[in-house]
Amino acid sequence: MKTYTWTLSLLVATYCNAASVILKRANPSGIDVSHFQGAVNFNTAKANGVVFTYIKATEGTTFIDPEFSANYVAATNAGLLRGGYHFAHPDTSSGATQANFFLAHGGGWSSDGKTLPGTLDIEYNPSGAECYGLSASAMVTWIKDFSNTYHAATRVFPVIYTTTDWWTTCTGNSAAFGSTNPLWIAHYASSIGTLPAGWSFTTFWQFADSGSNPGDQDQFNGDMTGLQRLAKGS
């Protein structure tokens, strides 16, 4: 009986340790979407293993994504953690102006355990100069203006979505945000690759622009508990 009890305890301990390792390596799956995907069936995405989503809310100061509200409600009803993102146009207005536009049209945050901090999507200019005509120092100032304005309103810093190539080129590979802003790196490969200066790890990784679920395919760097902590602002 003693031998049996010891063996059972060992099996339970081994199972729990294994489960812990699996949980820590879970890397919860997510997607990011915009009006280009139309109305997304988040229940189907959830059944496919998706647990979080970022949804485009705004761009510059003139565009509100027409599918944002419907997709945000649908993601909420499906039980996903969700947040909004803003596509930046640093050449059209200040960082503070765009942060306030984002906050007014879906980019807000509350510590409810299901809302992810808003994301600043800062990347290649889709219709002009790669760095929007800004010097590296001016770009860093613009990003700080956006980030500080968002933080003042919500008490959390926005996630920064970018690529290492763009960040290096357009901010001079600034290390100014690594201690405050979570990083969401876009890199379509089998591994994350080199990160921008200041960050020793990425919080999110966009590893593909298509897959078994709608939109871009993402992964959280951690376990579900860590993702929930992020949603609570801790």
Burial 132-165 (b: 16+ CB within 10 A, else e): bebeeeebbbbbbbbbbbbbebbebbbbbbbbbb
Distance CA 2, CA 5 (A): 5
The two tokens of residue 31 are: 């997607």
Domain ranges of the chain: 28-231
pLDDT in tens, 68-102: 999 999 999 999 999 999 999 999 999 999 999 99
pLDDT in tens, 99-118: 999 999 999 999 999 999 99
The catalytic residue among 59, 65, 67, 121 is 121
pLDDT in tens, 158-197: 999 999 999 999 999 999 999 999 999 999 999 999 999 9
Please give the single-letter amino acid code of residue 88: A
pLDDT in tens, 204-222: 999 999 999 999 999 999 9
The catalytic residue among 123, 145, 165, 223 is 123
Pairing label, strands 216-220, 29-33? antiparallel
Is 218 annotated as catalytic? Answer: no
Is 121 annotated as catalytic? Answer: yes
pLDDT in tens, 33-56: 999 999 999 999 999 999 999 999
Is 32 annotated as catalytic? Answer: yes
On the question of pLDDT at 227 being above 90, the answer is: yes
Angle at 145 between CA 149 and CA 180, to 5 degrees: 75
72, with CB counted inside 10 A (0-12, 13-18, 19+), is buried
- pLDDT given at position 115: 98
The pTM for the full model equals 0.89
Q: What is the CATH number of domain 28-231?
A: 3.20.20.80
pLDDT average, residue stretch 149-160: 98
**CA diameter of the chain:** 77
